[in-house]
Amino acid sequence: MTTEREKPLSEADVNSWLQQNLPSWKLEDGWIRRTYKTSGWKGTLMVINTVGHLAEAAWHHPDITASYAWVEVRLVTHSAKGITSKDLELAKKIEDVVHWQPGKEGKGLEGTPHGDSRFAYIKYD
C-alpha cells in the first residue's frame, strides 16, 4: 500500500515545485533530473560520493550517470511509479550540499582557493 509520502504528484505540481525551488532540475521521462558540471574527475567523484551519502541516509536511491566532468542525478520513487515528495526533498538536499560554498557565508570556513585548478571542484551555476 502506498503511504501518503509515496503518493505520486501530478506533472503540473512537480514542474511548479521545481520552478519555485530547484530551477536547475527538470522533469523528463518520468524522472526529475539534474546534471552537475565539475572541474574534472576528482570533482565528479566528490559529487557522486556526496549524492550517495545523502541518498543512503535518506533511504532513497537515485540513478547516477557520470563522465569525466559531469554527473547526472535522476530521481523517481519506483514503488509509487512517479515523483513523490521524497524525490523533491532529496533533490533539495543534494542541491544544497553540492552547491554549498562556505567562503560565501562569511563565517569561519573559507572554502576552496579560487583560481587554482588543483582545488577546483564543481562549476557553480
- Let me know: does 61 contact 74? Beta carbons within 8 Å: no
- The pTM (predicted TM-score) of the whole model is 0.90
Question: Which residue from 32, 89, 79 is spatially nearest to 58, judged by alpha carbons?
Answer: 89
What Rg, from alpha-carbon coordinates, does the chain have?
16
- What is the distance between the alpha carbons of residues 21 and 12, in angstroms, rounded to a whole number? 14
pLDDT digits (tens, 9 = 90+) for 66-115: 999 999 999 999 999 999 999 999 999 999 999 998 888 878 888 888 88
Domains of the chain: 4-101 (3.30.1360.20)
**Element housing 26 (H / E):** strand 26-28
pLDDT higher than 80, residue 43: yes
